[in-house]
Amino acid sequence: MTRNMYYLILLVGLIFMLSACGESVQEKIYGHLEETVSLEQEFSKNQKELIKLEKKEQDIYDKIIDLSSEQLDEIKKLSNEANELIEKRLELIKLENESLQTAKEEFIKVKALKDDVTDEEIEHSLNQLYDKMIERYDAYDDIFQTYKDTLDLEKELYNMLADEDSTQEQLSKHIELLNEHYETIIEINNTFNKKTEEYNDLKRKFYEKADLDVAYDE
């Protein structure tokens, strides 16, 4: 399974230059927004490693389906290797989730500052930005749970492949269920990616409306 989850918040190379002596509420909000980006960097690293592990597992699966039922010992060996990769993926997805939850905790600090924004246009822009990011995090929660469920199903599949008593009908039904999960992950990923793009656009607009001196190097 290859996931299309490459989406980080990304006004990369953002440089912030402030001339005022004290921090305005807009500047404090800026600090939380950019710290959120920083905290999600670990999330991005885990994504790259997950892709590598998924490819390795796919290669093992391809080898297994090319084997005959008489080669059960080799199938069992490869299935064990695949399950070990699944365990590594599970650990990575848990770490990924932890980094996203930490970033979310940083982001929601913005909420306490919203009432201090006096300009109605800036406040409206901030509310849009905040709501969009919460939608993005909600989408990730769905991805995390569905991905974990899918890993369980994958382990069951390899155990079935290594079991000489498994029937073709049982395998077919299980693979069909797995494919449904893969499709769901793709759909949620697309939602997550869209929310990320929308959030980035709203963040840029907020910086402009808040008259923050920000230069972008994308």
214 phi/psi in degrees, rounded to 5: -120, 135
Instruction: Reply yes or no on whether the pLDDT at 12 is more than 80.
Output: no
Here the tokens at position 123 are: 């406040």
Whether the CB-CB separation of 86 and 154 falls below 8 Å is answered with: yes
Distance from C-alpha of 181 to C-alpha of 48, rounded to nearest angstrom: 21
Output the CA torsion sign for 85, 90, 96, 99.
negative
Q: Which residues have a Cβ under 8 Å from the Cβ of 189 and sit 6 or more positions away? A: 3, 4, 5, 7, 143
Q: Which of 13-27, 76-90, 94-108 has the lowest mean pLDDT?
A: 13-27
Contact residues for 99 (Cβ-Cβ < 8 A; gap 6+)? 39, 40, 42, 43, 46
Choice between 212 and 37, residue whose per-residue pLDDT is larger: 37
Q: Which CATH class is domain 21-210?
A: mainly alpha
Q: What is the pLDDT of residue 216?
A: 53
Strands, E, within 65-165: which ranges?
none
Q: Comparing C-alpha atoms, which of 216, 218, 207, 217 is closest to residue 27?
A: 207
Q: Which residues touch 83 (CB under 8 Å, ≥6 apart)?
A: 155, 158, 159
Q: Compute CA 162 distance to the chain's CA centroid, rounded to the nearest angstrom.
A: 31
Query: Does 49 have pLDDT greater than 70?
Result: yes
Cα gap 165→35, rounded to integer Å = 54
**What are the sequence ranges of the domains in the chain?**
21-210
**16 phi/psi in degrees, rounded to 5:** -110, 130
Average pLDDT of the segment spanning 89-108: 95
Average pLDDT over residues 44-58: 91
- How many percent of the chain have pLDDT more than 70? 87
Q: What is the pTM of this model?
A: 0.83
Which band of pLDDT confidence, cut at 50, 70 and 90, is reported for residue 210?
A: confident
User: Would you call 69 helix, strand, or coil by DSSP?
Assistant: helix
CA atoms within 13 A on the CB side of 22: 2
Task: Supply angle C-alpha 41, 185, 146, rounded to 5.
Answer: 85
Q: What is the pLDDT of residue 75?
A: 96
pLDDT of 8 over the 80 cut: no
What mean pLDDT do residues 202-215 have?
Answer: 84
Q: What is the pLDDT of residue 214?
A: 65
State the average pLDDT for the chain: 87
Residue 152, CA distances (Å) to 19, 101, 165 in order = 53, 23, 20
- Does pLDDT of 43 surpass 70? yes
Judged against a pLDDT cut of 60, whether residue 6 lies above it is answered with: no
CA dist 10 and 213 (Å) reads 18
